[in-house]
Amino acid sequence: MTGTNSSEVKEFYTSLTDRFSAWVTSRPDIRAAIVVGSRARVDHPADEWADLDIVMVTTDPEYYVSNSDWIKNFGRPLLTFIEPTSMGDERERRVLYEKMLDVDFAIFPLERVRSLLGSATESKGASPNQAILVQVSNMLGRGVRILVDKDGIMSKISGLASAVKNPPPSIPTQDEFLGVVNSFLYHVVYTAKHLRRGELWWTVTCLDCYLQHLLLRMIEWHALVSHDLKHDTWFRGRFLEEWAHPRTIEGLQEAFAHYDKVDVKRALLAATDLFRFLATETAAELNFSFPTEVDKNVTEWIRTCLSGL
């Protein structure tokens, strides 16, 4: 890391974690605290660029959301702000400490964690709620290090996460597959129309954000059907360069655009070609139908529509 070597980074995070653990022990409202993410992970563990992710379980979440003085107990902060966590309703305080070392403190109400645990194990003897288990597993299943667990609740939660550490890969149904294909083709036309209108910002964000979101979904499905359906595609494109098909990696080099009309045209066609390759191979492996004529008509229309650029 520029200005900081890897041993200094490791020492900073180790020291911060020790100070945080001691501080939490003296705070009666904080019932549990754990480390998640790369600094608790064995597979793809933290390197010098990784941040520190801490989950706090407290009876007074609003204090840590509305007040930032407490983060000074662990280092010299340069900035801090609040944003939603990946779990939805909960929030996290993101902190950038000196030397550009970042820590995310996810703040979970105790009642929310108890409810999560109850929802995952309820139903009077029925199987645990799989949606809840997968949600927990996404956060904890790849590694968790318990710092403080005053009520034993995080041990139970992490045990549930371990039970579904490798949940079955999500293979689409025919309808789900066609839903992604049709949405992609629809928004390819949508993007081309806005490009011809001259709305470059709108066009670039649709191509480089929304269409790439749909493309990632197809990349994941293609990677699964190209292997034994146990292929680890991680989440939100993490480590994609390791698990995606080589042609995918090659195609992605052309599938993003600069803020330029001609380059958007080039990238839009390249993204469409890559999506077609992935979708047709995935459809063949799953014995799904693929709207070949629609794809052909859309592609020809786009080439004609954008021929003057």
Provide DSSP, 180-196.
HHHHHHHHHHHHHHHHH
The pLDDT of residue 169 is: 61
The pLDDT of residue 49 is: 84
Stated as kind and residue range, the H or E segment containing 92 is strand 91-97
CB 160 within 8 A of CB 128: yes
The pLDDT of residue 123 is: 45
What distance in Å separates the CA atoms of residue 163 and residue 153, rounded to the nearest whole number? Answer: 16
pLDDT at 188 over 80: yes
CB 169 within 8 A of CB 231: yes
Task: Judge residue 104's burial from the number of C-beta atoms within 10 Å of its C-beta, 0-12 exposed, 13-18 middle, 19 or more buried.
Answer: middle
What distance in Å separates the CA atoms of residue 202 and residue 249, rounded to the nearest whole number? Answer: 26
Tell me the backbone φ, ψ of residue 78, rounded to 5 degrees.
Answer: -90, -35
Q: For 93-106, what is the mean pLDDT?
A: 94
Greater confidence (281 vs 239) lies with 281
The pLDDT of residue 5 is: 75
Q: For 97-104, what is the mean pLDDT?
A: 93
Residue range 210-258, pLDDT digits in tens: 999 999 999 999 999 988 767 788 878 888 998 999 999 999 999 999 9
Mean pLDDT of the chain: 87
4: confidence class by pLDDT, cuts 50, 70, 90: low
25: confidence class by pLDDT, cuts 50, 70, 90: very high
Domains of the chain with CATH codes: 6-163 (3.30.460.10), 174-305 (1.20.120.330)
pLDDT at 139 over 80: no
128: confidence class by pLDDT, cuts 50, 70, 90: very low
Percent of the chain residues past pLDDT 70, beyond the cut: 87
Q: For 264-271, what is the mean pLDDT?
A: 96
What distance in Å separates the CA atoms of residue 195 and residue 305, rounded to the nearest whole number? Answer: 10
88: confidence class by pLDDT, cuts 50, 70, 90: low
Greater confidence (96 vs 234) lies with 96
118: confidence class by pLDDT, cuts 50, 70, 90: confident
pLDDT at 158 over 80: no
CB 268 within 8 A of CB 261: no
